[in-house]
Amino acid sequence: MRIRRLKLSGFKSFVEPSELRIEPGLTGVVGPNGCGKSNLLEAIRWVMGESSPKSMRGGGMEDVIFAGTSSRPPRSFAEVVLTGETAPIDGKREELEVVRRIERGAGSAYRVNGRDVRAKDVALIFADAATGAHSPALVSQGKIAAVIAAKPTERRAMLEEAAGIAGLHVRRKDAEQK
Ligand code: ATP
Ligand code: MG
């Protein structure tokens, strides 16, 4: 799929509504330490249905909501809007707008092209190996070092996840129990 635009509001350090346009070609995000570069990548993963707070560097999912500073009060919700086009289906790309919003105490809600959908539906949209919250195309900061430092068994698990075959072990265990 192609991501063309990302809108963030109350997401981590992006407290005021912010928009990022991604033009064709290579896009680089540069800035000083702590300016929010990794938060941007996390916003992409989050709107695609990431369900693990740990991979958002938080303890709970609500930790993605702007927590406030000495001069700004915390926000009650975070929202990320991803606009783009699907991968070609029968040679045709379709417009896609995915919205994920989380409110304190109310959990996450998703909308795709204006319609309320379940987390599962969003996961299905991004289910092909090239996109999605767990796509090997999204490499988090520190992940390369983690691969180098990992024990052989851990490294195998990472490679299996990247190859998209991690689910096979679960299904094999299932089959063995039956
Ligand atoms: P580096 O170059 O060090 O990798 P970076 O540009 O990747 O930095 P990020 O890790 O994206 O920076 O941003 C970290 C900043 O985001 C920190 O200042 C942190 O306080 C802020 N931040 C993270 N979560 C929240 C939150 N929920 N509310 C407010 N600020 C947050
Ligand atoms: Mg970073």
CATH classification of the domain holding 71: 3.40.50.300
The whole-number pLDDT of residue 33 equals 97
Residue ranges at the known binding site: 32-39
pTM above 0.90, yes or no: no
- Pocket lining for ligand 1, CB < 6 angstroms: 12-13, 31, 33-39, 63, 65-67, 141
Looking at the structure of the chain, the number of domains it has is 2
The whole-number pLDDT of residue 159 equals 84
DSSP state of 37: H
Same domain, 87 and 167: no
**Residue 104 and residue 54 in contact, taking contact as beta carbons nearer than 8 Å:** no
Cα–Cα distance for residue pair 138/45, rounded to 1 Å: 8
Ligand nearest to the CA of 43: 1
Residue 135, in any domain of the structure: no
**Residue 94 and residue 85 in contact, taking contact as beta carbons nearer than 8 Å:** yes
Indicate the helix (H) or strand (E) that contains 45: helix 37-47
Cα–Cα distance for residue pair 48/112, rounded to 1 Å: 11
DSSP string, 111-161: EETTEEE-HHHHHHHT-STTSSTT-TT---TTHHHHHHHS-HHHHHHHHHH
Same domain, 121 and 150: no
The whole-number pLDDT of residue 167 equals 67
Which ligand 1 atom lies nearest to the CA of residue 66? 28
For 93, the token pair is: 């790309």
Distance 32 CA to ligand 2 centre (A): 9
Same domain, 118 and 148: no
With vertex at residue 35, the alpha carbon angle to CA 33 and CA 41, rounded to the nearest 5 degrees, is: 100
Whether 37 shows a pLDDT value over 80: the answer reads yes
Ligand nearest to the CA of 72: 1
The whole-number pLDDT of residue 39 equals 97
Same domain, 111 and 163: no
Which ligand 1 atom lies nearest to the CA of residue 58? 24
**Residue 51: left if φ>0, alpha if ψ -120 to 50, beta else—which one?**
alpha
Average pLDDT on 74-102 reads 93
Residue 148, in any domain of the structure: yes
pLDDT, tens only, 128-170: 646 677 777 788 888 889 889 999 999 998 888 777 776 677 6
Same domain, 111 and 71: yes
Distance 92 CA to ligand 1 centre (A): 38
Same domain, 96 and 75: yes
**Partners of 106 in the β-ladder:** none
Contacts of 155 (CB under 8 A, 6+ apart): 147
Residue 134, in any domain of the structure: no
- Domain region containing 161: 142-178
Cα–Cα distance for residue pair 76/62, rounded to 1 Å: 9
Q: Is 17 helix (H, G, I), strand (E, B) or coil?
A: coil
Residues 65/158/161/47 CA torsion (nearest 10 deg): 10
